[in-house]
Structures are given as structure tokens and as C-alpha cells.
Homo-oligomer: A and B are copies of this chain.
Amino acid sequence: MRPRVIILGCGFGGLFAARTLRGAELDVTVLDRVNHHLFQPLLYQVATAGLSAPAVAAPIRHILADQKNVTVLLAEVQRIDAPRRAVVLEDDSELEYDYLIVSTGVTHSYFGNDAWAEHAPGLKTLEDAMEIRRRVLLGYEHAERESDPLRRAAWLTSVVIGAGATGVELAGMMAEIARHTLRGEFRRFDPSNARIVLVEAADRVLPAYPQDLSEKARLQLERLGVTVWLGRRVTSIDANGVQLGDDRIAAKTVVWAAGVKASGLGATLGVPLDGAGRVLVQADLTLANYSEISVIGDLAVVSGHEPPVPGVAPAAKQMGRLAAKNILRRIAGRDTQTFRYRDYGMLATIGRNSAVGVLGRVHLSGYPAWLTWLLAHIYFLINFRNRLVVMIDWGVSYWTFQRFARVVFGPLRPKDR
């Protein structure tokens, strides 16, 4: 019998792991709780109504259709039974494996204040993006209906919590919406009077970036009209606004980009986790106690890797490839390789034609950075279904049938069965 490999999660880690096993004499099963692979770097564009959902997602089974050793199943995994080498699905059925790759990522963390989730959605999934988009757009609609100036101001005030790349990109886009997109579309107020506040606990935006780029990003955000509050921590969020110690912002649109925690599946492994629930793995991405299990992507903390591997798409991709290669090596009776993150830098856009980026010692900002971002994404995307052609295809997709609208929002719901 051929070795059975199960891959949990078809984000960047899981997808590239599966791809690396192409043509191998194995049976690969890929499980995900949604039917699509999501290009997360562009999710903020969906959340700010810049792109339709199908533009940033593709059906997993369509991507992997040509890989005959792969079966794709839409499923939610309850837990991993490591001693028995099986995963337990939402209907209590089990799938056994010889090798397992866990790539289920992270979700939002409200630092224990889960009640905030209802008022401040995060941005991890398409459902999240649609919810944020809904709130951003409806805030203006409510403002047009509202005659009381204070209530209208609250509808026109948005708070983005967390000034990492996600928060910065969201805030920048929300400012563009207020100042450009909606110009002239309202009669009772000027949308450019909308207020976008970006709140960050650290003393600068983009804390993971070099200091000079943080400063440039902040200036650009302010040029766009974003109000930046640094060194401030949110103490409470409710349906009408955000509390920061003694200060309060009355805001009907609040977005959370301040913290993540690991997928709960990590805890079901019964192995050491870090403070955010991430799974500690060895240098070759496997578990110390279960060498047939690899954990990759945002869910993993690689022992001894300094600096720590960042929770970004290229890292997940590289880990996915290595974890898969190591399985092939083990089957061939060879030693596994250790993981070393190849850092291709970071880029964050700020509004529609500015960005900051760092690659090694090179710091980019402004329009050149944005151009780099654009080209990098096209390059990235070209490897992802040749999306440059896809973008042209959008024009002709009306006539063809292979398309980008096969996305079902959200995981399996109980009433689907």
C-alpha cells in the first residue's frame, strides 16, 4: 500500500506541500474547511471593496485537479489523534495517515476578550473580509440616514486596532474610500470628513519594520488623513466605540488587526506549545515525539531558528515545500533537511500608490516601493494560476466557463448535512 499523507489546511503551506508531492507514489489527502485557497496578501482589498472575493481565492480542487495522487475533501477536523495516527473529522469519521502535515494557521486573538469579536471583526478569511466590507460601506449608508450630528459622526468614524501590515493596509484603503471612492455620492455630508483612527500599542506603526520605514509609513498615513494613535492600548470595545483607558472613540466601525493565536488543532496534538498556542517543531519541521507529523506555516515555531520565522506567506510556502520534501526523503530512507527561512523582505502598501518595503538592508518607500509591491505580487500571482493571464481573463471570463466565482463563503455549516 502506498504511504498515506494527510495535509490539514490548504493555505500557502498546505498548497505548496501538496504540489511538492506531485507525481510521488503516495496517496495525498488535502483537507480544508472551506472550498478555496485564499491569497491572503490581497484579502484587505476584498475587505475594502477593491476586489471581488473570487479574485483572491481559487477552488482548491481546481488548483489540484491535475495532480492525480491528491484527493481534496471539504471537512472540518475536530482533533488529531497522534498516537493512533488518525485525524477525526466533524462527523466523527476518521482518516488514518502515515505522514501528516498540519498547516491550519492562526486566527484572531482578542487577548482573552472574546466578547470584542462581535464588534471588531478581524481579517483572516473571506467571511471576515465580507463582514468588514459590509460594515465599512454601511457606515456611510447609515450616516446618510442620520440627522443627529453626533450619531452621524460615529457612523463616519472607524477604528483599526493594530498597526502591523494588515492594519496599515486596511487603514490606508479606508482613507482612500473616504477621500476618493465615495466623493460626490452623498448629499448630507462630505465623505472625506470620515475619520479613520489607527491605534497601536507599540511606539510606532509597522513595529516589525526598520524605524525609518515606520516613520515614513506614519507620515504617509497621515497624509492620507488617517489619525495615528501610538503607544495606546484598547481596554474595551462595544457596539458604539472603543475605550482606551480614559479616552473613548465613538465609532461604529471597528476592525481588529492586533493579535493572532494558533489554530486550536495544535493543542490536540498533546505536545509543547508557545504562549500563543503555536506548536514547537524541530529544525526539520517535525515533532519531537512524532517524527511523521510536520507542522508548518503560522502554526509552527521552529526550534533554534533565529530570528524567528515570520508569519508570512513566503515562509509558509517554503515550509510546505520542505516538509513535503522531507517526507519523500524519509520514505527513501534518507536524512531530512533542516529549515532555513529565505527572507525575501516585506512590503506593505499604504493607500493606492505608496508602500514601504525592506529587503535585507535595502529600504524602499513611496511610489518605487509600491511599484515593487505590484510587480512582486504579479510575479507571485503568476506562479498562482498564471494570474496575469487571469486578470486579462476577467474581461473574457464572461464568455468562458473556467472562472473565479466558485467560491463558497465560510466553512461547512451543520445544516449543510
Interface residues of A (CB under 8 A from B): 35, 46, 49-55, 59, 61-62, 65-66, 71-75, 130, 133-134, 137-138, 141-142, 144-145, 176, 180-181, 184-188, 352, 374, 391-399, 401-409, 412, 416-417
Q: A65-B185, A137-B35, A395-B395 are in contact. Are A404 and B71 (CB under 8 A)?
A: no
Contact with A73, one of B75, B144, B401 (Cβ below 8 angstroms): B144
B49 with A52: CB separation less than 8 A: no
A398 with B391: CB separation less than 8 A: yes
Q: A134-B409, A394-B395, A408-B134 are in contact. Are A403 and B141 (CB under 8 A)?
A: no
- How distant is the Cα of A47 from the Cα of B188 in the complex, in angstroms? 36
Residues in B neighbouring A49, C-beta threshold 8 A: 403, 405-407
Residues in B neighbouring A395, C-beta threshold 8 A: 391-395
A412 with B138: CB separation less than 8 A: yes
- How distant is the Cα of A107 from the Cα of B130 in the complex, in angstroms? 25
A52 with B50: CB separation less than 8 A: no
Residues in B neighbouring A51, C-beta threshold 8 A: 397-398, 403, 405
Q: A138-B412, A392-B395 are in contact. Are A405 and B46 (CB under 8 A)?
A: yes
Q: Which residue on chain B has the smallest CB distance to residue A118?
A: B415
Residues in B neighbouring A73, C-beta threshold 8 A: 141, 144-145
Q: What's the nearest-Cβ distance from chain B to residue A241, in Å? A: 15
Residues in B neighbouring A403, C-beta threshold 8 A: 49-51
A142 with B394: CB separation less than 8 A: no
- How distant is the Cα of A399 from the Cα of B75 in the complex, in angstroms? 36
- How distant is the Cα of A118 from the Cα of B407 in the complex, in angstroms? 21
Q: A49-B406, A62-B185 are in contact. Are A142 and B401 (CB under 8 A)?
A: no
Contact with A141, one of B74, B186, B398 (Cβ below 8 angstroms): B74
**6 A-B pairs with the lowest CB-CB distances in the bound complex, closest first:** A394-B394, A52-B52, A74-B141, A52-B405, A49-B406, A65-B185
Residues in B neighbouring A72, C-beta threshold 8 A: 144, 185
- How distant is the Cα of A374 from the Cα of B46 in the complex, in angstroms? 29
A406 with B46: CB separation less than 8 A: no
Q: A50-B401, A137-B408 are in contact. List 12 more A-B contacts (CB 8 A).
A: A46-B405, A49-B405, A49-B407, A51-B397, A51-B405, A53-B405, A72-B185, A134-B409, A142-B417, A181-B401, A181-B402, A374-B399
